[in-house]
A and B are shown apart, each in its own frame.
Chain A
Amino acid sequence: MSLPFLAKKPIDLPPIVSVELIQITEKTNIPFAPKAKKIIEKVKEKEKKLVSEQAPPKKVKKIKPDAVPMPDDKVKKVEKIKEDKQNPEKIDNEVKQVSEFEKEELFDPNNIAALIDKSKESKAETLKKNPDLSQDQNKNFDNTGLSLSEEDALKAQIFGCWSIPLGLPYNENLLVRIKLELKPDGSVIRSEILDHARMNKPGQGFYKVLAESALRAIKLCQPLRVPSTGYERWKELQLNFDAREMLEG
């Protein structure tokens, strides 16, 4: 039988590469690179500036439902907001989206009625003591969850920070629950993976990869976009990272 002529030098496999684990030191003692020091200082200055530059939008927040006052002068204020929102010349596209969302909350007569009723019935005493208390602050006492807009803002922020590891098996349980302890400005004091034991279980390597990606997302997103009020309510927060929807799609 004839065989196809082979090239003279049959190719051989390269020699085996031996692998070993190596140790590292725990803490860095490397000084800042001279270039870096300057840049870090600049960035810090910029961040400071950014904070001060970001301050004005807070004024805009005053027209959000968060700041709608309680029954006495509520009707007047609501009308005022209505005028603001309906002036198309003053509002750009982005603001419009927000305002449309708010409109539903603001101008649903049933909601207003319900709020009035609720506040009249159950919070009369509190109101006497705190006549300036806003509706939103009041709501905080009732609700244990975030409002839809608050939750959406937080979700949207984290969506942008979370790089999903694409190699994960989508038919596995890919839910990572992380409990956070937050500062009032949204920065993270402590993060804890609730199913931590699973990270080191054999055959669950993908879970560790997912958990680490979630922790990176939280770090990258700091400070988190948390509501400006009701710190007691959200100072502890649980984020459930679930990659199944993205990976299956």
Chain B
Amino acid sequence: MKNFLITFIIIFIPVKSFGLIEVDITRGNLNPLPVAVSPLSIDEESRKNFENILKKKNIGSEISSIVENNLRISGLFNPLNKDAFLQEPDIANLKPRFEDWNLIKAQALITGKVSYVEEKLRVEFRLWDVLAGKEMMALAFTTVPNNWRRVGHIITDKVYERLTGEKGYFDTRIIYVAEEGPKTQRVKKLAIMDQDGANNKFLTLGNELVLTPRFNPTSQLVTYLSYFRNLPRVYLLDIETGTQEVVGDFPGMTFAPRFSPDGKKIIMSFAKDGNSEIYTMDLENRIVEKITNHPSIDTSPSYSPDGKFISFNSDRSGYQQIYIMKSDGSNVKRISFGKGIYGTPVWSPRGDLIAFTKLHKGKFYIGVMRTDGSGERLLTENFYQEAPSWSPNGRVLIFYRETKTDSSGKGFSAKLWSIDLTGYNERQVPTPTDGSDPSWSSLLSN
């Protein structure tokens, strides 16, 4: 009877239970993530060796400064002031005391060690999640000492990818047209530099006018336009070997050759019989194929990253707008419908957006829109700016901006600028001379 009662109680007396409460978190902050970049630790013997070779007093600090600067210019990270650090680099390089880094509000920590091993530079680095108190990544790089800047960029790419979920863009280079002299007599040279402005080198001597250099997305090959006896020519330049060749002479106005995503073709516009159309050229057999066929002016073609579509400018609606079509020239569709004139559409390497230049009421804008033309966002406005080029991860645009000439004909300048997709992180990219027509390379290391 007693057992029966107990069973009865268990079965029939309701016991209050609570369902699991769910709370939806659909918003967060977009503030830069506080990150501590500890100077890389270095033993005294290695420090002296590198000082002799590289003429840098402490290569560990130099590399960490590159990482710190890269993270800062990305706009997504807030590298904390080193004066606030409580741990010395040699201690931090072992397993850090997270309490110390928590105190200065760091959410991520980068530590590491530099050593001189068999005449090479060996850099170990570790990324720590300070709040979770765990290691997120540990890698070591070995290379020749002169390559130290690149190691800093590669470390940043790894950290960036681990913390944001997308590939970085720091171990990359920019090719651009370096300009010097008064506006009416500009000397223009091809120049190349790291994405942070370091290691600037001039590739041509400035005897000929050079325009619109563009990187091959799959290699260190560049195509650009130059004039020979007043005729436009398209060239290919191999940056690794320094060899170059003429792709061909093209009639009339020739514009902005670009590579296809597989690097096997170039696409450009030129005016044959007085009408500007879009053409492709196969780089293996040099066969030229006409893609558009319309009495209007079609220019500035750019492939989608899958190679299936092409965006371009056309004035077929009366004034210049952006259109897309299949890569064989079929299914032409206008995608820009805003007020003003649209130009230089460039398809994002992510495939989701098209960047463009827009002229409206005397102002130039750099903006982005989705590939169906929706969601137009103007990122930056100025007196004159154009020619956006995407970082390989599709997050940042580099372009050039010119300033007004004053009444005495002075004051003109052309500088490279970058802006990210938020529109808030706008920066001038340092160049030793004026610069225009920048093109961003793909990642040097993958």
Chain A interface (Cβ < 8 Å from any Cβ of B): 1-7, 9-25, 27-33, 35-36, 39-40, 43, 141, 144-146, 151, 154-155, 158-169, 171, 179, 205-206, 209-210, 212-217, 219-220, 232-234, 236-246
In the complex, chain A residues whose CB is within 8 Å of the CB of B150: 14, 17
* 30 sample A-B contacts, Cβ–Cβ < 8 Å, listed by A number: A1-B246, A3-B244, A3-B246, A4-B210, A10-B242, A10-B243, A14-B143, A14-B146, A21-B138, A22-B126, A24-B138, A28-B98, A30-B87, A30-B94, A30-B97, A33-B100, A40-B99, A43-B103, A145-B21, A158-B28, A159-B28, A162-B28, A205-B165, A209-B165, A219-B132, A233-B18, A234-B21, A236-B21, A237-B23, A239-B23
> Given A4-B210, A216-B131, do A18 and B205 touch, yes or no (CB 8 Å)?
no
Instruction: Of the listed stretches B233-241, B251-259, B272-280, B328-336, name the one at the interface; the rest are far from the partner chain.
Output: B233-241
Residues of A within 8 Å of B44, CB to CB, are none
Query: CB-nearest residue of chain A relative to B32?
Result: A163
Partner among A25, A171, A212, A240 whose Cβ is within 8 Å of the Cβ of B129:
A212
Closest chain-A Cβ to B25's Cβ sits at a distance in Å of 5
What 15 additional pairs, Cβ within 8 angstroms, besides A15-B147, A24-B135, A167-B166? A1-B246, A4-B205, A4-B207, A6-B244, A13-B444, A16-B445, A21-B138, A27-B95, A36-B87, A39-B86, A144-B21, A145-B21, A162-B25, A163-B28, A206-B166
How far is the CB of B436 from the nearest CB of chain A, in Å?
17
Shortest beta-carbon distance from A123 to chain B in Å: 13
- Give chain B nearest CB distance to A35 CB in angstroms: 5
Cβ-defined contact, A212 with B25, below 8 A: no
The answer to whether B28 and A164 touch across the interface, beta carbons within 8 angstroms, is: yes
Q: Do B95 and A242 touch across chains, with their CB atoms under 8 A apart?
A: no
Q: How far is the CA of A145 from the CA of B22 in the complex (A)?
A: 8
Tell me whether B207 and A28 are in contact (CB under 8 A): no
Question: What is the chain A residue whose CB lies nearest that of B128?
Answer: A24
Q: Which one, B132, B139, B166, contacts A22 given CB within 8 A?
A: B139
Q: Which residues of A contact B393 (CB under 8 A)?
A: 167
Beta-carbon contact of B99 and A151 below 8 Å: no
Of the candidate stretches B46-54, B196-204, B300-308, the one touching chain A is B196-204
Distance in angstroms from B391 CB to nearest chain A CB is: 12
| Bound form: Cα–Cα A154–B27 in Å | 12
Complex CA distance for A17 and B158, rounded to whole angstroms = 14
Chain B residues numbered 97-118 whose CB sits less than 8 Å from any CB in chain A: 97-100, 103, 107
Q: Are B163 and A12 in contact (CB under 8 A)?
A: no
B238 to chain A, nearest CB (A): 8
Instruction: Please pick, from B29, B96, B165, the residue contacting A159 in the complex, using a CB distance under 8 A.
Output: B29
The answer to whether B86 touches A33, judged by C-beta atoms less than 8 angstroms apart, is: yes
Q: A5-B204, A17-B151, A237-B21 are in contact. Are A39 and B103 (CB under 8 A)?
A: yes
Cα distance, A35 to B94, chains bound together (Å): 18
Residue B226 CB within 8 A of the other chain: yes
Partner of B107, one of A28, A163, A236, A246: A163
Least distance between B14 CB and chain A CB atoms (Å): 12
Q: Chain A contacts of B185 at CB under 8 A? A: none
Determine if B192 is an interface residue (Cβ-Cβ < 8 Å): yes
CA distance A14 to B198 in the complex (A): 14
Are A216 and B129 CB-contacts (below 8 A) given A4-B204, A17-B151?
yes
Partner of A146, one of B21, B144, B228: B21
Chain A residues with CB under 8 A of B65: none
Q: How far is the CA of A219 from the CA of B98 in the complex (A)?
A: 13
Shortest C-beta distance, B376 to chain A (Å), equals 14
Quick check: B244 and A163 within 8 Å, CB to CB?
A: no
A219 and B131: CB pair below 8 A? yes
Q: Are B96 and A163 in contact, with the CB atoms below 8 A?
A: no
- Whether B21 lies near A233 (C-beta < 8 A) is yes
Residues of chain B within 8 A (CB-CB) of A33 are 86-88, 91, 97, 100
What 0/1 readout, one digit per residue, does chain B (1-29) give for beta carbons within 8 Å of chain A? 00000000000000010111111111111
Q: A163 is contacted by which of B25, B29, B233 (Cβ under 8 Å)?
A: B29
Which residues from chain A contact B72 at a C-beta distance below 8 Å? none
Partner pick for B163 among A23, A209, A246, CB 8 A cutoff: A209
A162 close to B29 (CB less than 8 A): yes
B61 within 8 A of A: no
**Which of A30, A31, A246 has the most C-beta atoms of chain B within 10 angstroms of its own C-beta?**
A30
What B residues does A14 contact at CB under 8 A? Answer: 143-144, 146-147, 150, 444
Give per-residue flags for B385-422: 1 if the beta carbon is below 8 A from chain A beta carbons, else 0.
00000000101000000000000000000000000001
A40 touching B25, Cβ below 8 Å = no
Question: How far apart sit A107 and B215, CA to CA, in the bound complex (Å)?
Answer: 68
A32 near B100: Cβ-Cβ < 8 Å: yes
Which 3 interchain pairs have the tightest Cβ spacing? A10-B242, A167-B166, A162-B28
